[in-house]
Chain A
Amino acid sequence: MSEITSIFSRYEPLLEDYSKFLDVCNTPLPYVVRINTIKTTIQKSTSAFSDLSIDVTPCDWNPLLFQINNSSPGNTLPYLLGWLHGQEEVSSIPPLVLDPLPGDTVWDACSSPGSKTSQLAALMDDTGFIVANDSNLRRMPALRSNLERLGVTIAAITHSDARHFSLKPFDFNTFDSALVDVPCSGEGTIRKNPRALQKWSLKQLFSLQKLQFSILRRAISLVKSGGTVVYSTCTFSPEENEMVVDKILSEGNCTIVPFNLPIVSSPGLIEWEGIQFNPSLNLCKRIWPNQNNTGGFFIAKLEVK
């Protein structure tokens, strides 16, 4: 049995068409770029694609996303100009759910390499303030160069462990909202990286859960009352998804809020392996690769009390 089949068999009861799910997981993911509205427009980019003979297919649910049928999109003029950023379709969803406004002060707790940070900045018309944090020094250069190439002028990059993030260097006490796109086991990235499951173990899921919970808890404590925190992972395991959110709900400082997605998704689980969760967990969303031919994702939208 392959790694995929042996590990993913635990999700069989959650899926209507498990064999289709497995098939899709074994198919490489198309390369998708997001148009960066800080530096260009959809119209300018589409004309450029056609004039430069860059073969693209627009993505049907989001006018800013294009599947690009070119082996190295980074080696094109629009990329050099900062008009494009390679970003999977599902990866563009958490910022849309957070839905920041121009002028907001936003914390991106785990931000390298900055795909979602730059998308947040674009959604804010590059107006406001984003603190883009990451704990991994080796991932800083990519974060920095992406934000600079994409023309983001409202971000401060900090290097710290999000669990202990301090607002001391800044002159404000709370964020309007936070994106908590945590490190995870990455099961949903299997189509992009066939080796994603090599280090998979139940033990690893639980140690990630601990880290994810502490980061999420820090975000809840740093966001103003009534503010939004979006929690997301690119994995299927309930240990890293519903169980983390269930635990944070039980602390009583936030509630889950409903949201709609422009693509097909499934509700969050309210039970896993005999453990019952808070019933509001069905308001979270799971995106399985076979639903929209994408990677996998989990998203929860929380409101701070």
Chain B
Amino acid sequence: MNSKSTTFDLLLTDTARQKNQSSVTRSELLDFWNDRFEIPPKIFKEYTFWEKGYGKIWVFKGNLSKSIQIEALGLRFTTTNQKSWKPTTNAVQKFGHHARKNVLSLPPDQVLQFVQGAPLHMDWDGTPGYVVVRGNLSDHDIQIGVGLYSNGILHSQIPKSRQLHLS
């Protein structure tokens, strides 16, 4: 991978993988989304994925022919520099409606807790780890963000700056 963290490098498919390019491949990334959330790779057909800085993956609709040094390209998608890969809030808000596994649907009162960053105690029989947190607003499903479920607690991963302050 390019050492300059200002550079976006394209994630290539396994076969095209080159040395000194990205730290993960497109296929590994799409496998993760498919395994964890059952979002099939075809959903991302029009998108390319880019790494800027180790393990920080961005999603961009379209393609560019070469690595590029800019401030942003599409939106941050997944962090792969930790043991459990972690989707971003914005990625889940954008693509979470396709998820069919490891989705937690919260009732309205818990949605209000979750968006304020509060941990929620609950029983759930899914695999511990990152989950898509869904709610309902005016009879429509809403994709709120990412939660981390472990030991009977759902920890809100809504970034501090995005959390609501409701009285």
Which residues of A are interface residues toward B (Cβ below 8 A)?
Answer: 39, 44, 47-48, 50-52, 75-78, 80-82, 126-129, 140, 144-145, 147-149, 151-159, 169-171
Question: Is residue B120 within 8 Å, beta carbon to beta carbon, of the partner chain?
Answer: no
Interface of B is mostly: mixed
Q: Is the interface of A mostly helix, strand, loop or mixed?
A: mixed
**Cβ B115 vs Cβ A77 within 8 A:** yes
Q: Which of B66, B68, B72, B115 contacts A155 (CB 8 A)?
A: B72
Give the total of B residues in contact with A, Cβ under 8 Å.
35
For B60, list chain A residues within 8 Å (CB): 153-154, 156
CB distance from B46 to the nearest CB of A (A): 8
Cβ A151 vs Cβ B75 within 8 A: yes
Q: Decide if B71 is an interface residue (CB 8 Å cutoff).
A: yes
Q: How far is the CB of A31 from chain B (nearest CB, A)?
A: 17
Interface residues of B (CB under 8 A from A): 47, 59-62, 64-66, 68-76, 90, 93-94, 111, 115, 137-140, 142-144, 158, 161-162, 164-166
User: When the two chains form the complex, which single residue of B61, B68, B76, B144 contacts A80, counting CB atoms closer than 8 Å?
Assistant: B144
Determine the chain A residues whose CB is within 8 A of the CB of B73 once the complex forms: 155-157
B164/A75 in contact, CB under 8 A: yes
Supplied contacts A44-B140, A77-B115, 10 more A-B pairs, CB within 8 Å = A77-B111, A78-B137, A80-B115, A144-B72, A147-B75, A153-B60, A153-B75, A155-B73, A156-B68, A157-B72
Hey, which chain B residues are within 8 Å of A157, CB to CB? 70-73
Set A39, A140, A154: member contacting B71, Cβ < 8 A: A140
Q: How far is the CA of A81 from the CA of B137 in the complex (A)?
A: 11
- Pick 25 A–B contacts, CB within 8 A, sort by A: A39-B93, A39-B94, A75-B164, A77-B111, A78-B137, A80-B162, A81-B144, A82-B90, A82-B93, A129-B62, A144-B72, A148-B76, A148-B90, A151-B75, A152-B75, A153-B60, A153-B61, A155-B73, A156-B60, A156-B72, A156-B73, A157-B71, A158-B71, A159-B70, A170-B68
| CB neighbours of B70 from chain A (8 A) | 156-159, 169
